[in-house]
Structure 1
C-alpha cells in the first residue's frame, strides 16, 4: 500500500511538471494569448476600430513585404538609412507576427522567419557599431538602447511564429541570435543594463521578454533583478554626466519600477521619457501577467504601473501634448504608439476605466491583441466616458517625498499652469527649480524651452542631443525661474542637483475660482532660499483667470537676480521706455547667457511695470511690482549658435540687485484680435496696480487694484503651516485674521 501510494504521488508530481511545461511552452503568450487570438478571430468584422487598425497594419506590412528584406551593415546615427531600416524591420516583424496569428496567412510567418535568419547570419560576426558617441554602443544601432528596442519588438514576433517554426530553426535562432543578443546588452554592457534609467528599462524588458519566449529562467532572473556582479567602477557616468548607479542600489526591471515612479505614478525623468518608457514597462508587464501571473506584476508597488498611465495623461495640454518638463520634445503626445499601448493595457488590466476609452477613441488605433480588442469592443458598445483632466499635484520620488509637479486647470482646460518643484530627474533633468509654464487651451503662453535636439533628423547631430542641450536648454536661464548672479541652480552640476529637491509648502485646489500652490527651494544657491507661490484666480467680471506669481528670495548676501518670462507672441506695448540695441551682443558668456541676444533695455519708472503681447489672437499683459533701478530687458535666443540649433524665441526679463526681495507679477489674458474682421477688442490690461504691501520672515502680502478700483488682498504664510493654524497680521492699521496657509479677500 505504501509503495502504491508513493507511485501515485510520483505520477501526480510528473503530471504537474508536465502541465507546467506545457503552459510554459504555450505560444503566443506575450501580448497575444491562444484564447485571445480565438476571440479576436470570432469578432473580426464586427468591431470597427479593431477592424480599421487591422486593415491599416495589414496594408503597411504587405507593402513592406513587396519591397523585400534588407538588413544592412550598421553604420549610421539616428535618422540615417541603416538606423531607420533596422528600426523599421523590428516594427514590421512585430506587426507581421501578429497578422500571422490573427489572419493565419503563412506569408507573414515566412517574412518574420526569413528576416530573423538574415539577422542570425550577420549577428554572430557583427562588431560593435562604428559610431563611438554612446557610453554603451550597440551592434545593430549606435547605442544599446536601440538594440534593446529591437529585441523587445522582435521577441513578440518570435513568440507569434514560435510553434510554426521547426525545433531545429528555433534552436539555431536562440543559439546564434537571441541568447548572444541578450548577453550582449546585459553582461557585456552592465553600464547600460544595470542601472535605474529608461535605458535600462528597455534593456531589462528586452532580456525578460526573450527569456519568456525561450523559457529561460536565468535570463528572466537577470531581467527582473539585474546582474549580481557587474564590475562597474564607483562613480561611472553616462554621456550626459549622469551617475550609472549608486553604491548598493538595486537594479533590474522591478527596481526600475520601484525607484523612478512616485506613489502617484509620476516618473522622475519627466513625461517625455515616461512616455518612451511606458512601452517596455507595460508590454513586459503584460507578458509577465500572461506567462508568470504569480508575480502579480500589476499589483507591484500598489499598482503603480497602471496609476502611471493616468498620471501621464494628466501631464498633457488640451491637445494631448506632453508638457516638456526636463528633456522633452515639444509636440510629442498621447497619439504616439507608446500611449496607444499604455491606454489599452491600462484599460484591460486596470479595472476597465471608461474614461480611458475616450483617449483610445481619439487615438483611432488599438493594439492588435487581447487588450486592444477589449477597448475596441467597449467603444463599439458605447461605454466611452470623457477623460476628466482636473487640477492635480503629483509627488516625485520613490516615496513621494522629493517634491513634485502641480498642474492647475481652469474650466475645460481653458488655462493650464504647470509648476515644477520636483527632484533633478536623473540625467535628463534640468536646473529649473520652481519653474513654471502657462497654456491657454493647447497654446503656449509662457513656455518651457524643452530639449535641444532634432530627434532622428540625421543632418542635426545624427539625430542625437546637441551640445546646446547642455549649454542652453538645461541651464536655469532657459526657464521661467529666478537666476542668481548669472549662475545656474546647483552651479549646473548633476552630482549636486541630484542630491536635492524642492518641497511643497501647501496647495489648495478646492475652489476653481482661486487655486493656489506654493513650494520652497533651499539648495539651489548656497545661503539663499527661494519661495514661490502661484495662484490661478478668476476676477469678477472677467471670463478668463489671471495668474499671480510671488517669488520670494531671501539671501545672506547682495546679489543680481534675473527673472525671465519666455512669452510666446509679439510685443504690443509697454508702460516703460526702452532703448533697442542696434548692434546685438550676448547677454553673458556662460551658463546659458551666451545664447541670449540683448535686444532692448529699459528702466522702471512707475510702481508697476506692464508689458503686453499678442499671441494666437489673444492679448496678454505681464504686470510686475517694480523697485527702483529695476532693469527691464528684452532678449532673444540664438546668440553663439552658428548652426542654428536653437529656436529664435523671445524673452522679457526683470533684473534686480538686492539681498532679499519679492518678484510679484500678474499674467493676465484679455480681449482678442480678429485677422479677418481686423477688430481689436479689450486690448488693454484690467490691472491698474500691483503692490507688495507686507513682507517679512513670516508673511508676504500683495494688493491688486483693477481699473474698476476693486482691490484684492492676498497674504501668504512663508512657513509650512498646518491648515488649522490661526494667523493674525496688521497691514496699514487693519487687522486680518485667518486659518491656514493663505488669506484672500476683496478690500472694501
Structure 2
C-alpha cells in the first residue's frame, strides 16, 4: 500500500480540495444552477413525478415494474432494518446485506416520490440514521486484500456503489427530512463518506479506471444533492494538485493514471473510443455504464449547462449502442478481456443504460425493442419515456450488423470487429491492452452460432460474489491461466505469452488494422497486424466470413501469417466447444495425464493426445448443441497436432475442463497457418436423424504466399474451387492489383479478391 505513510499528504489534499482551481470554477460558472435547490432532481424531477403519477395504471410495463419493486421493498420493510458491522468479502453475509440495503434504499426513495406514501420515506430515513450512527466510529474494513479498503465493504469500489445508490434515495426524501436531520446526515455520513473514498483514497479515486468512475459518480451525485460545489468539482476533475506514486499498482495490476488527468470527465474522455468502445471490454463497460449514465443523468438535470451528453461528440450515448452490438444472439456480452460469460443486456445496468440513452438521445426506436425484451424499466423520468414509447407501439428491431469498433481515446489503438452472416458471429480482437482487465491475446477470435459458442474465449477465472471461491474475487488462475496467451485462439511463440504477460509493456502497444470490408455481405473480411507482442516477429491475421451457394451455411476462413527474424516454436490452439466426432488422422493418447508445460498457462493444460501431421489437410469434426462443425487446417509434414484440456495443476478445480486442438510448428521462422471452420447440418435426439453431418470442404490449399499476397483455394465436395486472395501490404480500397498465379492472371481493386 503506497499511501500507508502519507497521512500528511491526505491532510494537505483535504486543504487543497476546499479551494477549487479558477479553471474548474469557470467551467461551471457559465450556466444557471436553477435546479440545484429543487428536489428530486437527479433521476426524478418534479415535472417527471407529476407526469408519472397522472399516468399510473395506464402504462403496462411501467406499472409492472412498479408493482415488482413495491413488492420487493414491502418485503424488506416487513423484515426490518439491519446494518451489521462489516466483516465479509464479496458473497459473505454482511457484504450482501449492505449491498441489498443500498439497492432497496434507492427503490424505496423512488416509491416515496411516485406513490407519495410516507412509509417509504420513513424507511429510508430510519436506515440512513442507522448508517449515520455506525459510520461515525466505523474503522477500515477488516479484510485487508484490497489496494483501497473500504469501510462498509472490503474495497472502496463497493463503498462507492453504496453512495451512488444512496444519493438517489437521499434526493427523493430530501424535502421529507427536516433541516436538522439533513445537516446531521451530511455532516456525519455523506460528507465524510465522500471524503473517504476520494481524498482518503487517492490511489482509488484519482485515476482512469472503472473503479474510479464509480468513485467519481458517488462523490458527484451526493454533491449534486447537497449542492456542494467542491464535491461536484472533485467529481468532474479529480483531486487537483495531488502528486502520488505513478508506478504503483492496484491489486488488479492497473496503474495510477500517468498523465495526471482524473475525474469523471477524464474517465469519459480516455477509455472510450469515438465509436463508443470501452477499452476494458464489454463486461466492464456494462458494469461502468451505470455510474457513467446515472451521474450523467443527474448532471443533465441539475447542471444542464455542462451538456454532458454532448461531451466528446456524445460518446456516452454512442457507447450504449456499441455495447448492445457487442452481444450475441441471446443478448450475452462477448467475454473480451476479463468477462464473465452469461452477463447480458438483461442486467440492471443495461436497463438503466437503455432507458437513459433513449430518453436523452435521439429516441432510437431500436432501443425500445431491447427495453421490451428486458421487460422492465426504471422508475424515473427516462423509464417513463421508454414505457410510453412501448405502449404506443413505437419500437423497431435493434439490428446487430457487422461492425468495426475502434479502440483508444482517439480511435487509433486497434479495435474489435464483429462479422455477422445469417446465424454466425465472428468476434475478432485486435485492440489495445484494455487497462488492468486486459488479456494477452493479440489477434484472437471467438465464433458463435445463434448465441452458442463454437470456438470459445475462456473469459475470466472468477466466481463473482460466490464466497466459497476466493471470497468471490479474482482467483490466482486468472493471471496464471485466463490472461495468458495460450488460453486464447491465437499464436503463442516459444511457450511465452505476448509481451511476456507484462502489463507495463503490453499497455504501450496495440495491434494495427490492415483493412476491413463489410460492403459485400457474402464476403466480410477483417485483417490486422501485431508487431510488438514478440520482438522481431510480426503477425498478420486475416479472417473472412464467406457465404457461398455451394455451402449450407456461411463458413470462416482463417489466415495467420507469421514473419520472424529467427526460428521459433509456434502453438496455435482452437478451443472448440462440444463432443469430438471424427478426425482424418490417427493419434496417440497417454495412459497418464501430464501438463503440457510449466509456465505461462501451459502448466494448466493436460496433454490428452498427439500425433504428427501426415497429410496436407487435417480435419476435426465435432457436435455441439445439436449442430455439426468441422475444422480443416492446412498442415505440413512434421507439424504436431495436440489435443489438450484445461485443468492441470488446479487442485481446487477453479478452471473449467474445456478442450482444444492445437497445431504446433517447431524450428520455423516464417510460416502460415490456414484453417476453415464450417457450420453444417444438425442432429435431433428426438428423431435420431443426423443431417449433413460431414464437411463440404475436400481441399484447402495455399497456392501463393509472398510478402504482398496470400492466395487460398477452397474446393468443395462438388469439385468447385473458389479462390481468396488477400493483400498483405497495399490493402487500401483504392488500390489496384495485377497478379499471376499458375499462369492465370488476376486483376481487382481493393484489398481482396474472391471468386
Alignment of 1:153-192 (within 5 A): 153-192=165-204
Give, in whole Å, the separation in 1 of the partners of 2:339 and 2:355: 24
Q: Which of 373, 376, 389 pairs up with 2:387? A: 376
1:674 paired with 2:647, answer: no
**Counterpart residue number, 1:353:** 364
**Counterpart residue number, 1:457:** 466
**Counterpart residue number, 1:625:** 634
Task: List runs of 5+ in structure 2 lacking aligned partners.
Answer: 1-28
1:718 paired with 2:728, answer: yes
**Counterpart residue number, 1:140:** 152
SS in structure 2 at match of 1:743: strand
Give, in whole Å, the separation in 2 of the partners of 1:615 and 1:593: 26
Contact 1:320 1:333 in 2 (8 A): yes
**Displacement of 1:543:** 3.0
Q: Which of 543, 549, 554 pairs up with 1:545? A: 554
**Counterpart residue number, 1:305:** 316
Q: Which of 69, 73, 86 pairs up with 1:74? A: 86
SS in structure 2 at match of 1:552: strand
**Displacement of 1:20:** 6.4
Q: Which stretches of structure 1, 4 residues or longer, exceed 4 Å deviation after superposition?
A: 19-22
**Counterpart residue number, 1:696:** 706
**Displacement of 1:231:** 3.3
Contact 1:77 1:83 in 2 (8 A): yes
1:401 paired with 2:412, answer: yes
Contact 1:596 1:637 in 2 (8 A): yes
Contact 1:520 1:530 in 2 (8 A): yes
Give, in whole Å, the separation in 2 of the partners of 1:378 and 1:434: 41
Alignment of 1:60-139 (within 5 A): 60-139=72-151
**Displacement of 1:604:** 0.8
**Displacement of 1:673:** 1.1
CA RMSD of aligned residues (A): 1.1
Give, in whole Å, the separation in 2 of the partners of 1:348 and 1:23: 19
**Counterpart residue number, 1:337:** 348
Give, in whole Å, the separation in 2 of the partners of 1:380 and 1:280: 28
Q: Alpha carbons of 1:22 and 1:506: their partners in 2 closer, same or farther (altered >3 Å)?
A: closer
Contact 2:421 2:547 in 1 (8 A): no
1:196 paired with 2:208, answer: yes
Q: Deviations over 1:64-107 (max 9, x none)?
A: 00000000000100000000000000000000000000001000
Q: Which of 482, 490, 505 pairs up with 1:473? A: 482
SS in structure 1 at match of 2:261: coil
Q: Deviations over 1:245-273 (max 9, x none)?
A: 21x33110000000000000000000000
Give, in whole Å, the separation in 2 of the partners of 1:429 and 1:631: 30
**Counterpart residue number, 2:750:** 740
Q: Which of 280, 284, 289 pairs up with 1:278? A: 289
Contact 1:636 1:651 in 2 (8 A): yes
**Counterpart residue number, 2:580:** 571
**Displacement of 1:353:** 0.8
Task: List runs of 5+ in structure 1 lacking aligned partners.
Answer: 1-16
**Counterpart residue number, 2:19:** none
**Counterpart residue number, 1:217:** 229
Q: Which of 502, 513, 524 pairs up with 1:493? A: 502
**Displacement of 1:325:** 0.1
Give, in whole Å, the separation in 2 of the partners of 1:416 and 1:23: 46
Contact 1:236 1:245 in 2 (8 A): no
TM-score (norm 1): 0.96
Give, in whole Å, the separation in 1 of the partners of 2:379 and 2:253: 39
1:419 paired with 2:428, answer: yes
Contact 2:239 2:262 in 1 (8 A): yes
Contact 2:34 2:302 in 1 (8 A): no
Give, in whole Å, the separation in 2 of the partners of 1:161 and 1:727: 70
Q: Deviations over 1:561-586 (max 9, x none)?
A: 00000000010010011001110000
Contact 1:506 1:720 in 2 (8 A): no
SS in structure 2 at match of 1:582: coil
SS in structure 1 at match of 2:176: coil
**Counterpart residue number, 1:641:** 650
**Displacement of 1:489:** 0.3
**Counterpart residue number, 2:739:** 729
Give, in whole Å, the separation in 1 of the partners of 2:674 and 2:229: 60
**Displacement of 1:622:** 0.2
Contact 1:424 1:498 in 2 (8 A): yes
Give, in whole Å, the separation in 2 of the partners of 1:680 and 1:501: 44
Q: Deviations over 1:379-410 (max 9, x none)?
A: 01110100010000000000000000000011
Give, in whole Å, the separation in 1 of the partners of 2:754 and 2:231: 60
Contact 1:187 1:230 in 2 (8 A): no
Give, in whole Å, the separation in 1 of the partners of 2:679 and 2:603: 32
Contact 1:633 1:653 in 2 (8 A): yes
**Counterpart residue number, 2:441:** 432
Aligned residues: 725
Answer with 503-512 or 260-269: which moved more.
503-512
TM-score (norm 2): 0.95
**Displacement of 1:683:** 1.2
**Displacement of 1:674:** 1.1
SS in structure 1 at match of 2:417: strand
Contact 1:235 1:245 in 2 (8 A): no
**Displacement of 1:630:** 0.6
Give, in whole Å, the separation in 2 of the partners of 1:21 and 1:229: 27
Contact 2:132 2:189 in 1 (8 A): yes
Give, in whole Å, the separation in 2 of the partners of 1:240 and 1:212: 31
Give, in whole Å, the separation in 2 of the partners of 1:240 and 1:41: 46
Q: Deviations over 1:656-702 (max 9, x none)?
A: 12111110000011111111111111111110111111111111111
Q: Alpha carbons of 1:298 and 1:21: their partners in 2 closer, same or farther (altered >3 Å)?
A: closer
1:519 paired with 2:519, answer: no
1:149 paired with 2:130, answer: no
**Counterpart residue number, 1:33:** 45
**Displacement of 1:229:** 2.6
Give, in whole Å, the separation in 2 of the partners of 1:676 and 1:240: 48
Give, in whole Å, the separation in 2 of the partners of 1:96 and 1:104: 11
**Displacement of 1:730:** 1.4
Give, in whole Å, the separation in 1 of the partners of 2:623 and 2:378: 42
**Displacement of 1:234:** 2.8
**Counterpart residue number, 2:4:** none
Give, in whole Å, the separation in 2 of the partners of 1:633 and 1:541: 31
1:599 paired with 2:608, answer: yes
**Displacement of 1:23:** 3.4
**Counterpart residue number, 1:447:** 456
Contact 2:286 2:349 in 1 (8 A): yes
Q: Which of 658, 665, 670 pairs up with 1:656? A: 665
SS in structure 1 at match of 2:240: coil
